[in-house]
Chain A
Amino acid sequence: MRRAYFKNNWVAALMVAPQLIIVFTFFYFPTSQALYWAFTLEQPWGGGNTWVGFDNFTAILSDSLYWASIWVSVVYAVGSTALAVGMALLLAIFADRQLAGYKLYKIGLIWPYAIAAPAVGLAFRFIFTPGAGLMMFVNQMFPHLWNPVDNGNQAMAMVIIAGAWKQVAYNFIFFLAGLQSIPRALIEAGAMDGARVLRRMRDIQLPLLAPTFFFVLVINITDSFTDSFGIVDTMTAGGPSRATNIMVYKIFNDGFQGLDYSGAAAQSIILMILVIALTFVQFRYIERKVHYT
């Protein structure tokens, strides 16, 4: 493709320079630094880092606490993603029928996305606290039924619900946009062939929504690995007894509370690889699916 270009490359250099400097300083350098730390160990009395090869990784991977943290992250990822994606899909596909009140439903289902993760966390911590409000009432009716302060599974359930609640709005926006980009003619043709509303949803809209669905799925999983910090920190601080100690939280704790930079860096690298792998899967899949619609 030929385009008309400006010739003055000095201007171009000036235009891209600020962004490149920032990206280098706050992205590439830190990332390479993480690699460096992951393969070295800081000397206790200063005097630089010594090369230790894969020792940091072996140490982490043989640590049962790390595997527990991975397990917790996976449970959180699967739980919150399934809940948020399922709910958003159901709401989007019915909202897309655009019956009366459509505008109201739309804004009503979008606004939670604006709320900060710690605010969501705090709100749900209050709602689920056995010491006040609804849950206190429930506990008086059925003593000892609900106590996330002691019960790890309940704490996890509470964090998953809060995380999913925050994510529903985001998914809803994407599903609705995806549904609205499906050519109207296809749905009309379906209707003309005698397919009723639910049949059209199943056989036309849902299959054509597949690329959006996959995209949203991957974004949700990635977000649950990274964006969940605010919710976990305000709700459970990783407890009780590490039952909600997701990977980002463990990195934060080991790095900033435990001051184990090498260990935290090695964990960061593993998390980075996970996130990059997910992103690649997403790109590949979307590339392939794009021709389909």
Chain B
Amino acid sequence: MIERTPLLNIATHLILAFGLIMLLLPMYLVVVAASHSLQDVISVPPNLLPGDQLWVNLQEAWAKGHLGQRFVTTFIVAIGVMTGKVVLSCITAFGIVFFDHRLKMPIFWAIFITLMLPLEVRIVPTYAVAANAFLPFQTLLDLSGITWLVNAASGVQIKLEWNLLNSYAGLIMPLVATATGTFLYRQFFLTIPEELVEAAKMDGAGPLRFLWDVLIPLSRTNIAALATIMFVYAWNQYLWPLLVVTDQSYAMIAVELSRLVPKFSATGGEVPKWHIAMAGTVIVMGPPIVVVVFMQRWFVRGLINTDK
């Protein structure tokens, strides 16, 4: 700030450089391993300098893990989750903030509570829903007696079924079912001066016109922030795709990556192909790192505003 503190400045740089090295070193080792043949990776003393096999290994990992196709699938899911979140949370927050109805707060809370329980915690029952997305509605109909009524009146047994396993809808929709985005938009919408709403009304704009011509242009920053976060979040999904996908043509990249080496076990077996696995790791890490580095500003902003 104002004082000269040469010693402390050196200490500061040392601490930060230490932190930087701690974070960079593991990934450096990954890249080094990805650039050697297996023979060199398991040699002693270890190679700490990059070799010349990087391109060969990347190609082999790409082919062996069918990463080309997985890339497409993962990209579709990431874009789907991102778009779903950006659009749905925007209109939901709009419906909650700019209309005066009694259900406003109950609806807000009903959505807000979903922040509390991440997908991992309720994984077993969510899986059951994915096997038949109409199960909740079937249960409602059964409980309310409508199934029985219809059956008695017309002889038709209502059986709703929509299997989401091995489908993009099954991969995407449960990931959209949280409140993160809605909360972000709501906080922002609440700061919009009411004169703006009055002016729009005076000019004869209806709610949809107001949303499209005023709110969305004003929300551009928020949209960018939310989109960045959601892209990375969806790209990195692991547990959910592991469960819903059994058909390889819908496999996501993070799941595929873990299949490049055999599971950890005490029995030993053959030496894992570390050089290929590490090349795969480099490929999988790529896109989200690029997004975060280039969209750093939006990313940081989105992270801070969605969680608080």
Contact = CB atoms under 8 A, between A and B. Distances in A.
A57 interface: no
A221 interface: no
A16 B125 contact: no
B208 interface: yes
Interface in B1-21: 1-3, 5, 8-9, 12-13, 15-16, 19-20
Interface of A is mostly: helix
A90 B291 CA distance: 26
B258 A233 contact: yes
A22 B201 contact: no
A123 B26 contact: yes
B177 A27 contact: yes
A16 B258 contact: no
A174 B236 CA distance: 21
Interface in B273-308: 274, 277-278, 281, 284-285, 288-289, 291-293, 296, 299-300, 303-304, 307-308
A27 B182 CA distance: 15
Contacts of A28: 110
Interface size class of B (residues with CB under 8 A): 35 or more
B116 interface: yes
Interface in A72-113: 87, 90-91, 94-95, 97, 99, 101, 105-113
Contacts of A185: none
Given A4-B201, A11-B99, A173-B300, A122 B16 contact: no
Given A31-B122, A256-B243, A197 B284 contact: no
Given A91-B15, A91-B19, A126-B274, A118 B255 contact: yes
Contact of B257 (A19, A23, A105, A122): A122
B277 A108 contact: no
A31 B254 contact: no
Contacts of A187: 1
Contacts of B115: 279
Contacts of A226: 118, 120-121
Given A6-B207, A33-B125, A91 B117 contact: no
Contacts of B16: 91, 94-95, 101, 105, 109
A3 B120 contact: no
Contacts of B296: 106-107, 110
Contacts of B125: 29-31, 33-34, 37, 265, 268
A16 B107 contact: yes
Contact of A99 (B13, B33, B128): B13
B203 interface: no
Contacts, number: 333
Given A30-B129, A31-B122, A109 B289 contact: no
Contacts of B88: 18-19, 22
A268 B123 CA distance: 8
Contacts of B288: 114-116
A61 interface: no
Interface string B177-208: 11100100000000000110110010000111
Nearest to A198: B8
Contact of A149 (B22, B111, B266): B266
Query: Which 8 residue pairs spanning A and B have beta carbons closest together?
Result: A15-B95, A116-B236, A30-B125, A12-B99, A29-B136, A26-B177, A114-B288, A5-B100
7 contacts: A29-B129, A91-B15, A113-B292, A115-B285, A123-B30, A173-B300, A271-B121
Interface of A: 2-9, 11-16, 18-20, 22-31, 33-34, 37, 87, 90-91, 94-95, 97, 99, 101, 105-119, 121-127, 129, 131-134, 136-137, 140, 149-150, 165, 168-170, 173-174, 177, 187-188, 191, 196-198, 215, 219, 222, 225-227, 229-230, 233-237, 239-240, 248, 251-252, 255-256, 261, 264-265, 268, 271-272, 275-276, 279
Interface of B: 1-3, 5, 8-9, 12-13, 15-16, 19-20, 22-24, 26-27, 29-30, 33, 41-42, 44-46, 88-89, 91-92, 94-96, 98-101, 107, 110-111, 114-118, 120-129, 133, 135-137, 139, 173-174, 176-179, 182, 194-195, 197-198, 201, 206-208, 210, 232, 235-239, 242-243, 254-255, 257-258, 260-261, 263-266, 271-272, 274, 277-278, 281, 284-285, 288-289, 291-293, 296, 299-300, 303-304, 307-308
Given A113-B232, A132-B41, 5 more contacts: A4-B197, A23-B114, A133-B29, A226-B120, A226-B121
